[in-house]
Amino acid sequence: MQKETAKKRPFRRSQAPKVNKSIVLVGLMGAGKTTVGRRLAKKLGLEFVDSDHEIERAADMSVSDIFSNFGEEEFRAGERRVIARLMTGKPKVVATGGGAFINEETRALIKEKALSVWLDADIDILVERTGRRDTRPLLRDGDPKEILMRLAEERAPKYAEADIKVQSCLGPHEDVVRDIVRAVNKKLSRRHNRRRFHTRFKKNTDQTGT
């Protein structure tokens, strides 16, 4: 599947796409999935959901406490169930945890049911953002920059399976939202044109020539 990478052009409000499936933001911790996701949902008139928050609500404890008390495996199992639930119902914008899209089952479900967007960011940006709060269990057992570099290398091939890739930078979050909207528009337009071609092509080739 060809990936769409957003390019900067003047944005018009009329360009906001009409989506018929959820948009799921994936990427490393600190990429801005929650902050960008809230703004994207508002732009598109959709509900916003953070999968980590949904997990915390279901467990009645924080992600950090789930990791500490029950381990990452138990957290990932709950994460899979929550994301499966979020893929049902009306279209929404979903921000996922950094490891969600790495799980094969979860990744397959997102790819089937939603439009996935990889928010990528430079390591220095991720280090700065994740350092603002001590809520990242995976960063507590070593140097955060080294851990993020390792995770980036390990996870990039999986993130690259997302439908769209957009760069998250130090500029205003609205710039990232704009880039996502444009890339989604382009992706949906391409899919629509492909479906129209296949329908017309099948109809014409099924007809008997005279």
- By C-alpha distance, which of 13, 28, 49, 48 is closest to 185? 13
Binding-site annotation, residues for Mg(2+) = 34
Give the per-residue pLDDT at 14.
44
Residues annotated in the binding site for ATP, as ranges? Answer: 30-35, 136
Please name the amino acid found at residue 64: S
Annotated binding site: which residue ranges? 30-35, 52, 76, 98, 136, 155
Alpha carbon distance 107, 118 (integer Å): 12
DSSP codes joined into one string, 2-55: PPEE-------GGG----SSEEEEE-STTS-HHHHHHHHHHHHT-EEEEHHHHH
The pLDDT, as a whole number, for residue 208 is: 58
At 111-143, the pLDDT tens digits run: 999 999 999 999 999 999 888 776 677 787 788
More confident residue, 87 or 135: 87
Residues belonging to the binding site for substrate are 52, 76, 98, 155
Structural domains of the chain, ranges and CATH numbers in brackets: 17-193 (3.40.50.300)
User: What integer best gives the mean pLDDT of the chain?
Assistant: 86
- Predicted structure pTM score: 0.81
Ranking 40-49, 115-124, 199-208 by mean pLDDT, the lowest is 199-208
Residue entry with tokens 């990936």: 3
